[in-house]
């Protein structure tokens, strides 16, 4: 297992380096004037000149890329702007502060939204899918199938706006969605994120229900499951010890990708409920043409997906005994 993790970690580092190189080329090599993009829409001439000097666009492209990568590990000095400590992902000429500070400020809201919604849609999606598979062709199976189809068809901005109107402004069942640090007010943190969790979980629960049901139906027909039943094991033991473990392998794969994507920023959910997370930050960076900030968000999202894939690969051997890591 240790050798496997080392290999996967090294492979993930190579992938991240490739992603960073491609991202750098997209944002710095293709634009005619990357300094103007980095400076934002409203950029005085003196700030534009300062941005060109600090970005070093008068130097060869490879030198710019090496300087950018080195800054991530050792930091970088921006003339007239101060020192950007490692990990230095760039300097936002729009916000007038290091990009890393902005991301750290917004990351807790995104993590809270992601983890809370993930717990809900994973538990409810898998449980509903298992029940539907065990009651295949019966009323519960049909209800779960129809509900998952409806849930997968609706959009977050529609459901979020609708539920917020009725349950927040009319019935006052939920609190106004907002992010409060859990260290300041745990109750306010929970109540402010409950409705966004539910809305985000609705879409994903539908997908996990359908996937779990189809995989569980296939797993229940496997020879090792039929053998366990023939030996007299109870139905619950067969489902929990054998069928469910085989079913979870593809679920964990998709869950890792979804979780990494959500950590990169749930743009629609954060915009719908006005949460100041990475998704909303990336949208603001696009609107303000904040090139360094947009690059940093892209790299954080890519890193989250790569890291989650490494974790998923390591979990395979724990979940499914048929998987062996060589």
For 199-255, write each residue's pLDDT tens digit. 989 888 888 988 888 888 888 887 777 887 787 777 777 777 777 777 888 888 888
How much is the pLDDT for 58?
Answer: 67
296 touches 99 (CB < 8 A): yes
Residue 324 has pLDDT above 60, yes or no: no
Domain end, chosen from 63, 82, 99, is at 99
Q: What are phi and psi of 167, to 5 degrees?
A: -90, -15
Domain residue limits at 85: 1-99
Average pLDDT over residues 299-306: 86
How much is the pLDDT for 322?
Answer: 58
Query: Do 160 and 49 share a domain, yes or no?
Result: no
* Domain containing residue 290: CATH number: 1.10.3720.10
Residue 321 has pLDDT above 70, yes or no: no
For 56-111, write each residue's pLDDT tens digit. 666 777 887 888 788 888 888 776 667 788 788 888 877 778 888 899 999 999 99
How much is the pLDDT for 118?
Answer: 92
Query: Do 228 and 312 share a domain, yes or no?
Result: yes
Query: Do 122 and 257 share a domain, yes or no?
Result: yes
How much is the pLDDT for 32?
Answer: 60
Side-chain half-sphere exposure of 309, counting CA atoms within 13 A:
16
What is the overall mean pLDDT for the chain? Answer: 82
Query: Do 113 and 249 share a domain, yes or no?
Result: yes
- Which burial class, exposed, middle or buried, applies to 11 when counting CB atoms under 10 A from its CB (0-12, 13-18, 19+)? middle
250 touches 260 (CB < 8 A): no
How much is the pLDDT for 177?
Answer: 92
Per-residue CA distances from 280 to 211, 226, 265, 304 (Å): 30, 50, 7, 17
* 196 confidence band (pLDDT: 50, 70, 90): very high
* 325 confidence band (pLDDT: 50, 70, 90): low
Per-residue CA distances from 86 to 14, 18, 63, 83, 252 (Å): 20, 20, 19, 10, 33
Query: Do 28 and 146 share a domain, yes or no?
Result: no
320 touches 249 (CB < 8 A): yes
Task: Work out whether the CA dihedral 94, 96, 101, 107 comes out positive or negative.
Answer: negative
Query: Do 48 and 134 share a domain, yes or no?
Result: no
Query: Do 56 and 106 share a domain, yes or no?
Result: no
For 153-189, write each residue's pLDDT tens digit. 888 888 889 999 999 999 889 989 999 999 999 999 9
Query: Do 176 and 196 share a domain, yes or no?
Result: yes
Closest to 68 (Cα-Cα) out of 23, 103, 32: 23
Query: Do 106 and 42 share a domain, yes or no?
Result: no
For 2-61, write each residue's pLDDT tens digit. 777 788 788 888 888 888 888 878 776 665 666 666 666 667 777 777 777 676 666 777
For 102-134, write each residue's pLDDT tens digit. 999 999 999 999 999 999 999 999 988 888 888
Query: Do 121 and 270 share a domain, yes or no?
Result: yes
Residue with tokens 């360094």: 292
Domain end, chosen from 99, 127, 145, is at 99
How much is the pLDDT for 112?
Answer: 93
266 touches 277 (CB < 8 A): yes
243 touches 227 (CB < 8 A): no
Domains in the chain: how many in total?
A: 2
* 309 confidence band (pLDDT: 50, 70, 90): confident
How much is the pLDDT for 36?
Answer: 67
How much is the pLDDT for 194?
Answer: 94
Query: Do 315 and 243 share a domain, yes or no?
Result: yes
* CA atoms of 195 and 176, how far apart (whole Å): 9
The alpha carbon torsion through 20, 21, 24, 28 (nearest 10 deg) reads 180
Query: Do 108 and 194 share a domain, yes or no?
Result: yes
Domain end, chosen from 99, 115, 132, is at 99
């Amino acid at each position: 297992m240790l050798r496997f993790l080392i290999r996967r970690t090294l492979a993930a580092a190579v992938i991240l380096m490739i992603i960073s190189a491609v991202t750098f080329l997209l944002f710095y090599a293709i634009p005619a004037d990357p300094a103007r993009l980095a400076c934002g829409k409203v950029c005085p001439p003196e700030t534009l000149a300062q941005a060109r000097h600090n970005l070093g666009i008068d130097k060869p492209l490879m030198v710019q890329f090496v300087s950018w990568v080195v800054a991530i590990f050792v930091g970088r000095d921006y003339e007239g702007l101060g020192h950007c400590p490692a990990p230095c992902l760039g300097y936002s000429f729009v916000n007038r502060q290091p990009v890393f500070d902005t991301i750290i400020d917004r990351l807790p809201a995104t993590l809270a939204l992601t983890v809370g919604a993930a717990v809900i849609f994973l538990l409810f999606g898998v449980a509903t899918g298992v029940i539907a598979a065990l009651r295949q062709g019966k009323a519960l199976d049909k209800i779960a199938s129809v509900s998952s189809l409806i849930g997968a068809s609706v959009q977050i901005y529609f459901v979020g706006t609708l539920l917020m109107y009725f349950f927040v402004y009319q019935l006052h069942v939920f609190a106004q969605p907002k992010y409060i640090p859990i260290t300041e007010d745990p109750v306010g943190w929970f109540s402010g994120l409950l409705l966004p969790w539910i809305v985000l979980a609705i879409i994903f629960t539908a997908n996990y229900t359908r996937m779990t049901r189809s995989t569980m139906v296939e797993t229940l027909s496997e020879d090792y499951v039929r053998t366990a039943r023939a030996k007299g094991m109870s139905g619950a033991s067969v489902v929990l010890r054998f069928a469910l473990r085989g079913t979870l392998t593809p679920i964990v794969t998709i869950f890792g990708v979804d979780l990494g994507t959500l950590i990169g920023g749930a743009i629609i959910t954060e915009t719908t409920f006005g949460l100041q997370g990475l998704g909303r930050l990336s949208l603001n960076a696009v609107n303000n043409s904040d090139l360094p900030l947009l690059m940093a968000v892209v790299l954080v999202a890519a890193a989250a997906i790569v890291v989650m894939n490494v974790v998923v690969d390591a979990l395979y051997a724990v979940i499914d005994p048929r998987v062996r890591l060589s």
